[in-house]
Amino acid sequence: MGKQTEIGIGKKALQLVLASSDELSELKPQMEKTSYTYCLGKTGSMDLQKVVSAIETAAKRNGIIKENLYREMHALYHAILEAVQGVTRGQVQLGDVMRTVGLRFAVVRGQPYEDREEGEWIAVALYGTIGAPIRGLEHETAGLGINHI
């Protein structure tokens, strides 16, 4: 059954997007010791499509998912949408309701459960700011999506 290993895949993804550059220097070698693969990136837009697209592209380019395999794209897509729901809290919309985001994202893939049969899972974490399209009129926001892959 799904007993989780000590450090969850979601926690790792959140730590990566929250980390300062100093903290990242510590976290990266820790990630190397795990079986997880991951990528990190930044995206900012009033256009939700661009946010979704930036994360998908980074995950494909960094080999976190196989872009020709729909099953992997499907798993990633739903993890992204779930993370976006944490960011947008209510309406999955940005520019349409006059707001913009500046986000760091992490995509982590691996086996978070002790039972090998549970297979691979994917986590998408987002952290940054959301607000009016005027610098400073914004507050922090975060989201986490997790899916089997």
- Stretch of 26-34, 35-43, 111-119 lying at the interface with a copy of itself (CB under 8 A): 111-119
CB of residue 62 to a copy of itself, shortest distance in Å: 18
Q: Return the closest-CA partner of residue 64 out of 33, 108, 25.
A: 108
Residue 94, H or E segment: none
Which residues are within 8 A (CB) of 34 and not within 5 positions of it... i.e. 6 or more apart? 7, 12, 110
The total number of residues shown for the chain amounts to: 149
d(CA 30, CA 33): 5
Contact call for residue 81 and a copy of itself (CB under 8 A): yes
Q: Is 24 in the site for a copy of itself (CB under 8 A)?
A: no
**Which residues of the shown chain bind a copy of itself in the complex (CB under 8 A)?**
1-4, 8-11, 14-15, 18, 48-49, 52-53, 56, 68-71, 73-75, 77-78, 81-82, 84-87, 89-93, 95-99, 112-113, 115, 117-119, 121, 123, 125, 127, 131-132, 135-148
